[in-house]
Amino acid sequence: MHDCMCPGHDVHDMPQMPLIGDAAPEFVANTTNGTVKFPSDYAGRWVILFSHPADFTPVCTTEFIAFQNMIDKFHELNTDIIGLSVGTLTGHLAWIDAIRNIKYNSENGTEITFPIIDDMNMDVARKYGMIHHNASDAKTVRAVFIIDTHGIIRAILYYPLTTGRNFNEILRMVVALQTTDAFHVSTPADWQPGDDVVVSAPSTVAEMRARTGNKRPGMDVKAWFLTLQKLSADSIMKKLIKNQK
Query: Taking Cα atoms as reference points, which of 241, 232, 166 lies closest to residue 193?
Result: 232
Over residues 195-219, the pLDDT tens digits come to 999 999 999 999 999 888 877 788 8
Answer yes or no: is pLDDT of 24 > 70. yes
pLDDT at 136 over 80: no
Torsional sign, CA 40, 170, 18, 130 = negative
Q: What is the CATH code for 184-244?
A: 3.30.1020
- Catalytic positions are 60
Q: Where exactly does CATH 3.30.1020 map onto the chain? A: 184-244
Question: What is the spatial distance between Cα 146 and Cα 81, in angstroms, rounded to a whole number?
Answer: 10
Q: Which residues make up the CATH 3.40.30.10 domain(s) of the chain?
A: 11-165
CA–CA separation, 178 vs 233, rounded Å? Answer: 13
* The overall pTM is greater than 0.85: yes
Query: Which candidate, 127, 126, 112, 122, places its Cα nearest to that of 39?
Result: 127
Homologous superfamily of domain range 11-165: Glutaredoxin (3.40.30.10)
Reported as a single tens digit per residue, the pLDDT across 64-98 is 999 999 999 999 999 999 999 888 999 999 999 99
What local confidence, expressed as pLDDT, does residue 7 receive?
A: 43
Task: Quote the mean pLDDT of the chain.
Answer: 88
For the residues 30-44, what does the mean pLDDT come to? 96
What is the distance between the alpha carbons of residues 217 and 215, in angstroms, rounded to a whole number?
A: 7
Q: What mean pLDDT do residues 143-147 have?
A: 96
Share of the chain above pLDDT 70, in %: 89
What pLDDT sits at residue 133? 58
Indicate whether 192 pLDDT > 50.
Answer: yes
